[in-house]
Amino acid sequence: MAFDQQALAQYKEKLLIMASHAEGMVTRAVRAHLDRDEPLANQALETDKTIDQFEIQIDRIALGLLAQAPGEFELRQVTCGMKIARELERVGDEATTIARRAVELMALPALPTPLNIAEMTFLANAMLKDALDAFVSGNTVLARGVIPRDSRVDEMNQTHQDNLTELMEASSENIQRCQHLAVISKCLERIADHAKNIAEDAVLLHEAKDIRHTDTSTG
């Protein structure tokens, strides 16, 4: 039986659509938080169901492709695609948490903070987009360039956590709001981690090299 290249193309297309939903969900969840926009937060929450359905569809197609005894490169495409779908589903979960915490914060008075959630979101989403572009295009230089960018998001999260700790120590009235904000920042840090994992999968696919747990700094 000849390998079904049309099904493989459909598989990759669904993966990209799922990725688009995940990126959009993160953007909407954070925008809902920044603008205190509850309808937008609810819209983001609804998107999670769509992402979950895409993961189920992708897994179903993948199992059919694996049953066709694919060649080495096709096998990596299918297995890496399944891994990426799981990463995207987790991105959706993080965005769900952000949207829910945003709604909780809307019920409380606004708390001025030095946090730069918008920049952190931009960095994480840019990593996600580049990692997925690298997966599709085979540009492993782009994929490898994503990985060290994760440290910048980690640094921002640590700064945010330190700032929020100071605000909680300054007044007990800040504690509940700061806890919600700490979770939002941590979710964005995790989204960047998922983007890094996708970039590593892109290298595995196109170079047949597993670069997890290795020094991939660009100097």
End-to-end alpha carbon distance in the chain: 47
| Helix (H), strand (E) at residue 199 | helix 175-207
pTM: 0.93
- The string of pLDDT tens digits covering residues 161-204 is 999 999 999 999 999 999 999 999 999 999 999 999 999 999 99
Q: Give the pLDDT band (50/70/90) at residue 219.
A: very low
CATH topology for the 5-207 domain: Methane Monooxygenase Hydroxylase; Chain G, domain 1 (1.20.58)
- Which amino acid, one-letter code, is at 157? N
Question: 10 — alpha (psi -120 to 50), left (phi > 0) or beta?
Answer: alpha
Q: How far from 21 is each of 11, 44, 52, 183, CA to CA, in Å?
A: 16, 10, 11, 22
Structural Rg of the chain based on CA atoms: 19
In this predicted structure, the answer to whether residue 218 has a pLDDT above a threshold of 50 is no
